[in-house]
Amino acid sequence: METGMIRKALLLKEIDVGSYSPLALAYMGDAVYELLIRTKVMNQGNRQVSKMHKKSASLVKAQAQANMIRLLVEELSEEEMAIYKRGRNAKSATIARNASMADYRMATGFEALVGYLYLTGRDDRLLELIHDGLEKMGELS
């Protein structure tokens, strides 16, 4: 996950993360969070892919992400809270499926924060928040 190694391997140029929209940050955050969750689920042992998918889906759906950010909000710095709120308040062209609009917006804010931390190379902080959120949800075992 080391973003510095990824940048080097893919010959990525430096970017101004602040110039990206909160929905673009959420786009990246969605992928990063899903990769982390799938990694955690795979590590729980070899089993049918359908069972792994079901477990992963239960943790990446909007309702679960909204629950996680509710549990983490007091741990966020001012900067992180601002990124979260920008994502939460962004006007998305997509609509919530299988989630309330409030949960969907909170999940978008959470994904924007994940994307921001990833793109700024703050892997330690990103992993700390995901760890704490999973722990508070009773998902670290």
For the chain, how big is the Rg over CA atoms in Å? Answer: 15
Phi-psi region of 121 (alpha: psi -120 to 50; beta: other; left: phi over 0): left
Per-residue DSSP letter, 18: G
Residue carrying the six token digits 């509710």: 70
Residues 16, 30, 123, 124: which is the catalytic one?
A: 30
Which 3 state secondary structure label does DSSP give 140?
Answer: coil
Q: Among this protein's residues, is 30 annotated catalytic? A: yes
Tokens coding 21: 């929209």
The CA distance from 111 to 84, in Å, is: 8
Residue 85 has a CB neighbour count (10 Å cut-off) of: 15
Residues carrying an active site annotation: 30
